Amino acid sequence: MSKHHPLLQAFGALLVLDADSRRIQAVSSNLSSLLNIPIPDVRTQTLTSVLGKRLSQRVRYELQGKQRLSGPLTFKCPTRSQRFQLHAYRSGMHVVIEIEPLHTLGKQRLLGTVNERLMRLAEATHQEELLDYLVMAVQELTGHDRVSVCHFDSDWHGLIVAESLATGSVKPGSVSPGREVPLGRLPALLGQRFPAKDFPVALRGAYERHPVRLIQDVAAPCEHLLPRGAVVDLSDCFLRAPAPERQQYLQRLGVRGALSVAMQGDTGLWGLLFCHSASAYPVTPPVRDAVRTLVQMATQRLLLLRARQEARYLQRVQDSLVLSSNNRLKPQSPYQLFTEHAETWQSLFRAHGVALWVKGSVYQAGNTPKPEAISQLVTRIEKAHVHSGPWCTQETAKEPLTSSLGMSEQSGVLAVPLPTDPSQRGWLIFFRPEQVETLYWAMQPPSAPLTPMMMLPSAAWCEEVTGKSEAWQRVERLAAMDLGEDLTLAISAYEISTLNMHLERERKALADANQRLEQLAHFDPLTQVWNRYRIEQAIDAELVAAKRYGAAFALLLFDVDHFKQINDTLGHSVGDDVLISLARMVESSLRGCDHLGRWGGEEFVVLATHSSMDAAEGLAERLRSLVATLQVTGLNQPMTVSIGVAVWQPDDSCKTIIARADAAMYRAKRNGRNRVEIAEKNVQ
Ligand SMILES: Nc1nc2c(ncn2[C@@H]2O[C@H](COP(=O)(O)OP(=O)(O)OP(=O)(O)O)[C@@H](O)[C@H]2O)c(=O)[nH]1
């Protein structure tokens, strides 16, 4: 409808005033007859001269600083014993006043009826029950031939989800007692669809701004504004005449009287309530307002019921989450997670199959495509769908990403990314089968050409929709996100625990290797006493301490006598045993602060800390006689050692003190073996 459409429906009259609500700028051509007052020259009139002083003042007072009156005003026309209802609002630089005749008859009863209906609506626990009751209550209230609720899907196609048809001439609660309702004059529309093009954006926008639209008679001649040519925006006006295309549309539907009320959802129009009559059908302002109240209440209740249902569903999904279950302390592998939860996930997401793709491994349950197809799908989605939300389709055969993947048994796919590893996300994928659906289009379907047959309002077109699965609901996609996040955390927890296990194993292996290395670096592999490198380190440390604190120490270098003979006669392994037994015996007889090391071959060194010459000689003698008592299996002769003893001198180095001990030891050999010799202070 044009913004400045000057035509008005004749069931009320209209006044256009200046911004001060004083001077009249235009009136509808029927104002004079409706109020029964002569209005000779519109331009010379004021609001006071038409509505009287008191009412005009009240309108001005209540409209001060406001866009519209907070509620309708009623007044009695002085020239007729008729009551009227008045609406006033600002439109641009004008104030518009709409006046409708009021039938107070039955008002009390109407209030009671509406209250009772409101209470029943507030008690409804299911959407169907609520909408069935709403259409029935509205039908009883207005008496229209057909009252229907049309719900919009995500493509703005409308589906008639509830309907009440007139079944009797006069019903209890009807506000039009005695009026004969023409039965069966309009066909039932329940279950039928209206294409989105029947509800263009402009029409939906108009419903969002002005939820109530009353057309008492589509075919009635229209009133116009006087003086002709007045330019006023009447798009907010109850009385504005329907646009020609709307008129034609209603006529094609066989509708002559119509009242429609928007059902405003939280994210746009949820739907519309239509009251249709095959003949012209007056609706009084109180009834119209009552219908609006009922629809508003029902819509609120509907949203509440839906929110509750969604909350219950989300709670069920929450309860199924891995991390909220008892297993959260024990990380599970993706395979374990999948086998444990796949069945629950399928039922929560009404899927006939589910697959989990993690790092190239595919786990499947129920009816799913082949693993190769799933892997290919993942590669394609990964490329095409970079954001973090789920990806879904209802029509795999038509969707470019899936059409060539051979998913004949899966029409619906909902894929949830699992960013366990940002470079290669995992995917949880649900599959739904085809759901063949028969759509009944009330007029012609959006795709089909218009045929003459379709012009008949009663002929519903039947269209079979194939290749589509049930739609993935918004709440299901939200729940899928929750599940995806949970699964990502669970899989990451498992990966971290596996990594930790590997790390712990490797740490232990490293510690063992270090220990082995330390053993090799510092110990003689045969006798397990310190090796030459380690004993030299110890001598160096002792030299430093001796120099700093003057703490003398002694070095005993000893060599097994005639060891070659033992080897030659009894074999090397007995020789080895002798060396092992000797080292063990000597080591166990030393003080804790003394150390034994193998110097090489059958030569050993004892580092005796805090030792004087006498003490060192005494130790050497003790060791010499102890060794003579050593028993080794296979050795049937006593074994002896020759020992050279050197005590630290202030100018000693490791090399010199060893050399002195060595010289003493060779002296002991020369002097007959099995004896102790003390080193000279200086070695030449
Ligand atoms: N079984 C065994 N023999 C070793 C080992 N290291 C050195 N020998 C042997 O020890 C023998 C040392 O012989 P010699 O240096 O001639 O000295 P000896 O026979 O003990 O004679 P004196 O020292 O003069 O009493 C050699 O035959 C070496 O091969 C070892 O780890 N195991």
Burial of 190 from C-beta contacts in 10 A (0-12 / 13-18 / 19+): middle
Q: If residue 49 lies in a helix (H) or strand (E), which one and from where to where?
A: helix 47-51
pLDDT at residue 455, rounded to an integer: 42
Query: How far is C-alpha 684 from the chain's CA centre?
Result: 89
Decide whether any atom of ligand 1 lies within 6 Å of the 575 Cβ: yes
Q: What are phi and psi of 357, to 5 degrees?
A: -115, 115
Q: At 359, list the tokens.
A: 């790092």
In angstroms, what is the span from residue 564 Cα to ligand 1's centroid? 4
Contact status, residue 465 vs residue 446, Cβ threshold 8 Å: no
pLDDT at residue 324, rounded to an integer: 64
340 and 417 share a domain?
yes
- Kindly give, in sequence order, each residue whose CB lies less than 8 Å from that of residue 375, ignoring residues fewer than 6 positions away: 357, 360, 362
Decide whether any atom of ligand 1 lies within 6 Å of the 559 Cβ: yes
| Strands 94-102 vs 13-17: parallel, antiparallel or unpaired | antiparallel
Decide whether any atom of ligand 1 lies within 6 Å of the 20 Cβ: no
Give the CATH number, domain containing residue 554.
3.30.70.270
DSSP output for 311-360: HHHHHHHHHH-GGGSGGGGS---HHHHHHHHHHHHHHHTT-SEEEEEETT
Query: Is pLDDT above 70 for 401?
Result: yes
Confidence of residue 2 (pLDDT cuts 50, 70, 90): very low
Identify the CA nearest to 662 among candidates 550, 534, 512, 556. Answer: 556
Read off the pLDDT of residues 555-577 as tens digits, 9 standing for 90 and up.
999 999 999 999 999 999 999 99
Cα–Cα distances (Å) from 231 to 20, 24, 44, in that order, read 18, 13, 18
630 and 660 share a domain?
yes
Q: What are phi and psi of 519, to 5 degrees?
A: -60, -50
Confidence of residue 106 (pLDDT cuts 50, 70, 90): low
Contact status, residue 340 vs residue 494, Cβ threshold 8 Å: no
Q: Map tokens 């009385």 to a residue.
A: 239
pLDDT at residue 321, rounded to an integer: 82
pLDDT at residue 107, rounded to an integer: 61
Identify the CA nearest to 490 among candidates 327, 313, 297. Answer: 327
pLDDT at residue 682, rounded to an integer: 66
Q: What are phi and psi of 526, to 5 degrees?
A: -80, -50
Rg of the chain taking only CA atoms, in angstroms: 52
Decide whether any atom of ligand 1 lies within 6 Å of the 665 Cβ: no
152-174 exposure pattern, b = at least 16 Cβ within 10 A, e = fewer? beeebbbbbbbbbbbeeeebebb
Read off the pLDDT of residues 496-552 as tens digits, 9 standing for 90 and up.
999 999 999 999 999 999 998 988 899 999 999 999 999 999 999 999 999 998 889
Identify the CA nearest to 50 among candidates 7, 19, 17. Answer: 17
488 and 355 share a domain?
yes
pLDDT at residue 6, rounded to an integer: 64
Give the angle 489-493-495 at the CA atoms, nearest 5°: 115
434 and 395 share a domain?
yes
Q: How far apart are CA 624 and CA 577, in angstroms?
A: 18
Q: At 267, list the tokens.
A: 């994210």
Q: Is 657 helix (H, G, I), strand (E, B) or coil?
A: helix
Max distance between CA atoms of the chain, in angstroms, equals 160
Q: What is the mean pLDDT of the chain?
A: 88
Q: How far apart are CA 197 and CA 446, in angstroms?
A: 7
pTM equals 0.65
Q: How far apart are CA 559 and CA 603, in angstroms?
A: 4
Domains: count for the chain: 4
Q: What are phi and psi of 149, to 5 degrees?
A: -110, 125
Give the CATH number, domain containing residue 172.
3.30.450.40
Q: Which atom of ligand 1 is nearest to the CA of 565?
A: 19
Q: Which atom of ligand 1 is nearest to the CA of 561?
A: 25
Decide whether any atom of ligand 1 lies within 6 Å of the 572 Cβ: yes
**Residue 523 CA neighbour count, 13 Å, CB half:** 13
Decide whether any atom of ligand 1 lies within 6 Å of the 576 Cβ: yes
Query: Is pLDDT above 80 for 415?
Result: yes
In angstroms, what is the span from residue 607 Cα to ligand 1's centroid? 22
385 and 275 share a domain?
no
In angstroms, what is the span from residue 556 Cα to ligand 1's centroid? 19
Decide whether any atom of ligand 1 lies within 6 Å of the 641 Cβ: no
Of the residues 69, 102, 135, the one at which a domain ends = 102
163 and 280 share a domain?
yes
Query: Is pLDDT above 70 for 582?
Result: yes
Q: Is 208 helix (H, G, I), strand (E, B) or coil?
A: helix
From its phi and psi, is residue 634 left (phi > 0), alpha (psi between -120 and 50) or beta? left
Domain limits for position 671: 532-678
Decide whether any atom of ligand 1 lies within 6 Å of the 599 Cβ: no
Read off the pLDDT of residues 19-73 as tens digits, 9 standing for 90 and up.
999 999 999 989 888 888 887 777 788 999 888 899 999 999 999 999 999 888 9
367 and 306 share a domain?
no
pLDDT at residue 331, rounded to an integer: 86
Query: Is pLDDT above 50 for 180?
Result: no
Q: At 55, list the tokens.
A: 């009412």
Q: How many CB atoms lie within 10 A of CB 569?
A: 12
Mutation choice for ligand 1 from 563, 580, 604, CB with most ligand atoms inside 8 A = 563
Confidence of residue 325 (pLDDT cuts 50, 70, 90): low
Q: How far apart are CA 463 and CA 492, in angstroms?
A: 48
Indicate whether 444 belongs to any domain: no
Indicate whether 564 belongs to any domain: yes
Confidence of residue 172 (pLDDT cuts 50, 70, 90): very low
Indicate whether 120 belongs to any domain: yes
Q: How far apart are CA 560 and CA 577, in angstroms?
A: 13
Indicate whether 317 belongs to any domain: no
In this structure, which residue's CA is closest to atom 14 in ligand 1?
Answer: 564
Mean pLDDT of 666-678: 96
Confidence of residue 326 (pLDDT cuts 50, 70, 90): low
In angstroms, what is the span from residue 677 Cα to ligand 1's centroid? 21
Q: What are phi and psi of 579, to 5 degrees?
A: -60, -40
Contact status, residue 558 vs residue 606, Cβ threshold 8 Å: yes
| Strands 192-194 vs 437-441: parallel, antiparallel or unpaired | parallel
- % the chain with pLDDT above 70: 92
262 and 149 share a domain?
yes
In this predicted complex, what is the ipTM?
Answer: 0.94
Confidence of residue 597 (pLDDT cuts 50, 70, 90): very high
Q: How far apart are CA 621 and CA 604, in angstroms?
A: 15
Indicate whether 447 belongs to any domain: no
Mean pLDDT of 256-273: 94
In angstroms, what is the span from residue 567 Cα to ligand 1's centroid? 7
Q: Which atom of ligand 1 is nearest to the CA of 574?
A: 1
593 and 668 share a domain?
yes
pLDDT at residue 320, rounded to an integer: 85
Contact status, residue 139 vs residue 277, Cβ threshold 8 Å: no
Decide whether any atom of ligand 1 lies within 6 Å of the 343 Cβ: no
Q: At 530, list the tokens.
A: 């310190």
Query: Is pLDDT above 80 for 456?
Result: no
Give the CATH number, domain containing residue 394.
3.30.450.270
Query: Is pLDDT above 50 for 336?
Result: yes
297 and 341 share a domain?
no
Give the CATH number, domain containing residue 33.
3.30.450.20
Indicate whether 97 belongs to any domain: yes
Decide whether any atom of ligand 1 lies within 6 Å of the 526 Cβ: yes
Indicate whether 225 belongs to any domain: no
Q: Map tokens 């209603």 to a residue.
A: 250
pLDDT at residue 183, rounded to an integer: 55
Least trusted range by pLDDT, from 14-18, 153-157, 277-281: 153-157
Least trusted range by pLDDT, from 96-105, 303-312, 366-375, 424-433: 96-105
In this structure, which residue's CA is closest to atom 18 in ligand 1?
Answer: 562
87 and 112 share a domain?
no
Query: Is pLDDT above 70 for 662?
Result: yes
**Residue 546 CA neighbour count, 13 Å, CB half:** 24
Bond into 227 cis (ω within 30)? yes
DSSP output for 356-386: EEETTEEEEEES---HHHHHHHHHHHHHH--
Contact status, residue 246 vs residue 1, Cβ threshold 8 Å: yes
Q: Which residues are paired to 354 by β-bridges?
A: 365, 430
pLDDT at residue 343, rounded to an integer: 96
Query: Is pLDDT above 90 for 609?
Result: yes
Mutation choice for ligand 1 from 528, 564, 576, 635, CB with most ligand atoms inside 8 A = 564
Q: At 457, list the tokens.
A: 């309002």
Contact status, residue 377 vs residue 405, Cβ threshold 8 Å: yes
- Kindly give, in sequence order, each residue whose CB lies less than 8 Å from that of residue 388, ignoring residues fewer than 6 positions away: 417, 419
Mutation choice for ligand 1 from 578, 602, 665, CB with most ligand atoms inside 8 A = 602
Identify the CA nearest to 538 among candidates 522, 527, 557. Answer: 522
Indicate whether 684 belongs to any domain: no
90 and 200 share a domain?
no
Q: What are phi and psi of 407, to 5 degrees?
A: -110, 55
Decide whether any atom of ligand 1 lies within 6 Å of the 564 Cβ: yes
In this structure, which residue's CA is closest to atom 31 in ligand 1?
Answer: 601
In angstroms, what is the span from residue 566 Cα to ligand 1's centroid? 8
Q: How far apart are CA 114 and CA 104, in angstroms?
A: 15
